[in-house]
Each structure stands twice: as C-alpha cells, then as structure tokens.
Structure 1
C-alpha cells in the first residue's frame, strides 16, 4: 500500500533498524520504544488488523514473534517480554504489527499505559538492532 509507513519499511523505501527479514515477515525496532529493544514484527503483505490476517501468515507472524520474545532475553538481558497487538484502537499505523517489548522486574511498566523512551542516537539504535539480529541468527 503506497501510503503505509510499514509497507514503505518492508519495501526498503523508508529506513528502519531491521532485526529480521524473511519471505513472510519483517522485524524492526520501534522508533518510540516502550523500552530499548522494543521490536515490531509485521507481515510483508499489507494486512490492516489481526482480523484480516490470512491463515497462511498466522504461523510465520506469530512464530517469529515467539522467537523474538525468546531472543530479547539473551540480546538485552531481559527477564521476559510483553507481547501485544492492537486492532484499530491504539493502532498508530494501520498495518498489523506485533509489539515485542523486553521486560525486567521493576521496570515500571504498569497496565496498558505505555510510556515511551528514545534512543540516544542512531548508533545506539543500530547497536540494539544488531544485538537482537545476532541472537536471532543463532
């Protein structure tokens, strides 16, 4: 879809800190992370919400989200993760995306209030993307 930010990232037209790129899905750092390392997993195909997700993309999308949820523990020393999908309400980009947020006990995240942070600079964001890419590559 021409005016979709995430389709533009998938196509390589808009830069992003990629952590994975498969035939079905792409993962990249959220530019307004809840915590550093917050990753978005999107289907390559434009799908607006989870309701419209074709069956054949369900396993690639959510299997990848599961892999990223495991990898953030090693990549960032997280104790676990928060995995979420918004459908229409609170969905800032109308392209299905799974949030995988690294978590540690006492990190301050409470309920559904998602405070946002920033990377210090491009080098720090690239470092976080590289750590996760390395763990995912095995």
Structure 2
C-alpha cells in the first residue's frame, strides 16, 4: 500500500533503526513508547490484521522477532507482553498488521499501550 506508514518503514522508505529484520518482518522502537521497552514487529508485506490470511512463515518470523527482541531488550526472563489489536473497535489505528512487545515494568505500571 503506497500510503501505509508501516509499509514505508518496513521497506526502508522511512529511515528507521531495526532491532530485528529477516525476509518477512522488521522490528523497531515505537515512537510513542508506553513502556520502557516498546517495540513494534511489522511484516514487510501489507496485511490489514491477523485475520487477513497471513502466511505461516510470516507468523513464524513474527515469533522469531519476539524472541530476539525480548532477549536483546533484557525482558525475556523478567516478562513482557505481546499485543495485536485487530480492527478499529479493538483500537487498531494503523491498518497494517503489527505486534507490540512491551516490557521493562510490572504489569499495570506503564504496560497498557495506546494503539500506534
């Protein structure tokens, strides 16, 4: 999608430092973090949400990114949240599949994100 900000970020049109990248997904820090660790995992291909026929290999890449990000950010052992909002009624405002990885503070202390 030519006007999708996450497509532009994932495909390098908008410069961003990636914490993880493979052939299917990228991970980068949220510009408006809701926790000490707030990273977005975004497929390079455009899918509106998790119910948009996402191939298994893309979901596997997202899971691999979660593991890598949690380890790199030091929250793997202490705990973290993964959140995917699906549709406007659930708070999704960027209609490109993405997962929030949040950690670095106890649940309820900065771990309830506003949708990006």
- Shorter-chain TM-score tier: 0.7 to 0.9
Runs of 5+ in structure 1 lacking a partner? Answer: 117-138
Provide the residue aligned with 2:49 in structure 1: 49
Provide the residue aligned with 2:93 in structure 1: 92
Counterpart-to-counterpart distance in 2, 1:79 and 1:8: 33
Q: Matched residue pairs, number?
A: 112
Higher helix share: 1
Provide the residue aligned with 2:7 in structure 1: 7
Please state how far the C-alpha of 1:78 moved relative to its aligned partner: 7.8
Runs of 5+ in structure 2 lacking a partner? Answer: none
Provide the residue aligned with 1:29 in structure 2: 29
Please state how far the C-alpha of 1:61 moved relative to its aligned partner: 1.4
| Cα shift readout 1:44-96 (whole Å, capped 9, x = no counterpart) | 1111100111223221112322332333226xx98221111100121121111
Any idea what SS the aligned residue of 1:63 has? Answer: helix
8 Å CA contact retained: 1:78, 1:104: no
Could you say what the CA RMSD is over the residues aligned between the two structures, in angstroms? 2.5
- Structure 1 residue ranges (4+ consecutive) displaced by more than 4 angstroms after TM superposition: none
Provide the residue aligned with 1:17 in structure 2: 17
Counterpart-to-counterpart distance in 2, 1:96 and 1:115: 16
Q: What TM-score results when the alignment is normalised by the length of structure 1? A: 0.69
Counterpart-to-counterpart distance in 2, 1:114 and 1:10: 21
Bigger Rg, structure 1 or 2: 1
- The answer to which of 59-68 and 94-103 deviates more is 59-68
